[in-house]
Structure 1
């Protein structure tokens, strides 16, 4: 998003790391499938459960094999942190064994304290379910249907969408106009409507659990029980190195939710958990701020080097 000397991928490469970038399925960069077209409803039949259970392990396994079986440092932001928490909490021996550490920026786990007016309103008016039952399998933020619903949300009392980015992410402190323009040229990207429904369930219920199909029969068919199984972040191995960095102005990774997460990790080995708090940072600052190199990436690199020893 930024210049080569400010972007984390380049900084990691300059620091001697091989850098692999994975695109979430459904984005314009990741539309391939062995049998399905993106026009098929089945193509979009997934939520972050599948990203955590299938895609992340596949990516790590691929990079591990291609790099001569070197253990992988993982960096995630926002949804990329949620799938890491979920995957690691499952204690998949092969996955944990192939990973050296995880740096998680704007960490998402608990979501019930989300203070983003746009995200909160969307969850409260069942935005995801409304689209889902209309038969819209792909959640395309640039599409007419989603645009109309966002417009409706922005007309709700007390919600001012003059700066749509800020009303969604929080008041970012340190973005310059050029990086914002680059961002807007590539974002936002499409996702599965089912994924948006799943996130809305988390916001409304305060749980970290698998997708809820809405009735005991369907849940039992998928999970063998009437309610969706929960993810237990405290089950992440206590000796697995974690670097968490969160911001005081972030309205998606809200400070109360992050403190709840850190509390859930209280049994973690103290020398394996690094928590950084930046009071003036919001959600986008972690990947786009002009000063993130000094404030976030330098400590992150130091953390990685420590695990390499």
Structure 2
């Protein structure tokens, strides 16, 4: 992005924790013309993912740190052992995607084996540790390095919280979320909406899970037609 300092961009992403935190920072948000967020997540107070909640309760992040592992990859030998331990007798991981994201209504099920070649993606241990910190504490904040580490980095004993009200009212936002999403629960999404200065364009589908928004056979009509209309209302896209 530094190679094109004068260009402003349209933003479409499901990595919304990073997006919403970045949008609170003036030097980042000034490069964005408009943003579309699929299944927006900041606070995780009402997360219902059985897999994630079990991993949090077992302090999987701390285990990875203790083992000296910098990444969790469920396709590695160690990752497979961890996966077996998490699932054994506690949940049906034959449908691992549903255990993590919630029930997705509208996949082409004949493609499931293909999807599972790529899902779930590996994640860094620090990323998991940060996510689990926010789940345990009910915060939307920077990484917690402990009191001394926080003092050195932030000048405070607690990590600074991201304030959604710092996202400029002038930034056009579009958000889509679903009633069966075990990660972006509708209650938590409504907390995001309430915390914003502006009123985003909203698309809600009661039957959609987390991955339906990118893989549903009906996503073209249910999601993307509305998203394209949103972006076309801004002159940069409509001029192409």
Fold equivalence (TM over 0.5): yes
How much does 1:148 deviate? 2.0
Partner of 1:139: 72
RMSD: 1.7
TM-score (norm 2): 0.92
Alignment of 1:1-150 (within 5 A): 60-62=1-3, 64=4, 69-77=6-14, 80-92=15-27, 95-150=28-83
Comparing 124-133 with 280-289, greater Cα deviation is found at 124-133
Gaps of 5+ in 2: none
How much does 1:246 deviate? 0.3
Say yes or no: does 1:298 pair with 2:230.
no
Gaps of 5+ in 1: 1-59
How many residues in Structure 1 have an aligned counterpart in Structure 2?
Answer: 236
How much does 1:178 deviate? 4.4
How much does 1:156 deviate? 5.3
What CA distance in whole angstroms lies between the structure 1 residues aligned with 2:158 and 2:92? 37
Comparing 173-182 with 97-106, greater Cα deviation is found at 173-182
Partner of 1:285: 212
What CA distance in whole angstroms lies between the structure 2 residues aligned with 1:181 and 1:155? 22
Q: 2:101–2:183: 8 Å Cα contact kept in structure 1?
A: yes
Partner of 1:230: 161
Q: Show CA shifts across 1:249-277 (max 9, x none).
A: 01011111111111111x31x4xx11111
Alignment of 1:128-277 (within 5 A): 128-155=61-88, 157=90, 159-213=91-145, 215-265=146-196, 267-268=197-198, 270=199, 273-277=200-204
What CA distance in whole angstroms lies between the structure 2 residues aligned with 1:188 and 1:163? 11
What CA distance in whole angstroms lies between the structure 2 residues aligned with 1:152 and 1:96? 42
Q: 2:97–2:120: 8 Å Cα contact kept in structure 1?
A: no
TM-score (norm 1): 0.72
What CA distance in whole angstroms lies between the structure 1 residues aligned with 2:169 and 2:111? 37
Q: Show CA shifts across 1:207-250 (max 9, x none).
A: 0111112x311221222221111111111001200001000001
Q: 1:90–1:231: 8 Å Cα contact kept in structure 2?
A: no
